[in-house]
Structure 1
Amino acid sequence: MTTLTVKDRAGRLREEPPRGGRPRGRWKEILTGWAFVLPAVALFLVMGLYTIGSGFALSFAKWNGFTPEWLWVGIQNYKDLLYADPSLAPEMRRAAWNTLQVMIAVPALTVAIALPLAVTLNSIRRLRSLLRSVYFLPYVTSGIAVYYAWRYVLEPEGSVNLLLRALGLGSLSQPQGFLGNPSTALPTLILILVWSSVPVATLLYLSGLQAIDPNMIEAAQIDGAAPRHVLRRIIWPLLRPITAAIVLLGVRDALHGFQIFLIMTGGGPGGHTDVLGLMTYRLSFFKGLAQTLGVASALGWLLFAAALLLTLVNARMLRRIR
């Protein structure tokens, strides 16, 4: 391949590659880049696509986890989860109902607490950085350690019951603990999830508040708008995209999160805190593998389909908001 010799504006001769071709050095850069990326791509193909594909295939089969043969059953695993199996279907319906409660309550309470908190923090001038660090602390703390600490606090002789009795509110204490009472176990876990979700939501709202033109708020205040009217008519509409993102994060955690339920209650008492993510984990590792590995995979794909549907709905709502 020959090169062309041309003159630049100063009259000096220089070489440039022929049109339509790539310089040899450019191809070297491309090959070098692929050499660095190829191991990560190969690892993703093996650990990612292969795992996803095999998991999807397993949802149509029964397998004990050891033998090379799979027993193909078609969509029977999905039927067993939804209605066919008299032991699995009621368990899934109960877990789905608990998941729905978490999926609605956690995002709603998170928004209701985080937005006023962010507005308050944004208006504070002194110690603003310190207060933000304090409110963000629950998010950066190790989740497992925090859950164990909460479980200890909520025991029958834990700090919450002792505090209620000391304040003369012994009627509100729970002799079996807040996690041992079927009527308080799930609401307690919801409150803990909200407590751990508020820091990120507050930080997102703070970033949104700082992007709002202060002249707009000042003009409303000059016109006599009360703080609640400014929050309702100006701040809230401008922060709707952030609210949609916070709701989506809460829905995701409700569908796929199970660590808090596993560590603090294990789905008890009597299945009152069982959720779909925990049910998938339990079917995979703690029941008869020959019967439930394929069922667990099917439940996982049902959760994926639900998450995908909710994500599409959220994306459509965001487009309408904008």
Structure 2
Amino acid sequence: MTAERKPSITLKLASPRGFCAGVDRAIQIVELALAKYGAPVYVRHEIVHNRFVVESLEAKGAVFVDELAEVPEGRPVVFSAHGVPKSVPDEAERRRMFYLDATCPLVSKVHREAERLHEIGRRIVLIGHAGHPEVVGTMGQLPEGAVMLVERVEDVARLDLDSAAPLAYITQTTLSVDETADIVAALKVRFPAIEGPRKEDICYATTNRQAAVKSFAGEVDAILVIGAPNSSNSLRLVEVAERAGCKRAFLVQRASGIDWAALEGARAVGLTAGASAPEVLVDEVIAAFRDRFDVRLEMLETVREDIRFKLPRALEA
């Protein structure tokens, strides 16, 4: 008796995908701090938006807290990759805490840009998602009221601003490139003199991962994005896939979350991972497909990434 033959399927694997340099640096900071100072090392908020990563670090001795008040005296604390309001390091300094800042350098760049614009007298419009830690951190670099948040094109018409006022816009680093371009266009129509950032705020990793998804969105029956439901860049990848013509685009945290019924009839599936999702979860999903299908794997590389960010001096030795 012969085993039943598995149906064939093609998995198109996006490259680049998964960890970006900022996420890799943030995780290294926690791991190196544990190695140098011993457990526990405290981390304010999720270091990156991925439960697998957070739980892996917890198993090594990291303790995640919401506020600095939860950190015992004498223990190191790490600030997450998303960045924090200025009030957080100010509080740490007042309490003479030893802290390591894992803010992505590209988020820090947006912070510096916001400060520069404020210093030269610009009112600032921030394109981003309300409540996201990066947005909270960016708005917290300046006095209350200095930054106005815009989430969608329709919000531009509701801005209570003089069109002749000196204005500038900045953006969250993990937005949809296309959707953000639409919002910027609307801002420029309403406020022709509005100033933009010197260099694009949406980070290279977000841009590259979205471009990779677009490259195969029209060639597959479905797309799976591995990432967390609170991960902005992962959610944007799903939206980008849908806008690029793939009607079956799904966010999954790991293989156990795949809705196989929703993939019924699919012969080609695109696979990518958000910037905070580790490669081990990609391997896990591929293995799950191989359990059910005769898999043909295609790697589709759109650009090669080789960016690395320096670690804090305290951890370099």
More strand by share: 2
TM-score tier, shorter chain, comes to under 0.3
Q: Point out the structure with the larger helix share.
A: 1
Instruction: With the length of structure 1 as denominator, give the TM-score of the two structures.
Output: 0.25
Larger radius of gyration: 1
